[in-house]
Amino acid sequence: MKQALLVFFGGGFGSVLRYLISKPLNPLFHNFFLGTFLVNMLGCLLIGLFLGLSAKGNILTYNNTLFLATGFCGGFTTFSAFAFEKHSFLKNGDLLNLAIYMFSSIGVGVLAVVLGLWIAKNI
- Using left for φ > 0, alpha for ψ between -120 and 50, and beta otherwise, residue 58 falls in left
DSSP H or E run through 109: helix 95-121
Q: Are 59 and 121 in contact (CB under 8 A)?
A: no
Annotated binding site for Na(+), which residues? 74, 77
Which residues make beta-bridge pairs with 29? Answer: 32
Annotated binding site, which residues? 74, 77
3-state SS, residue 29: strand
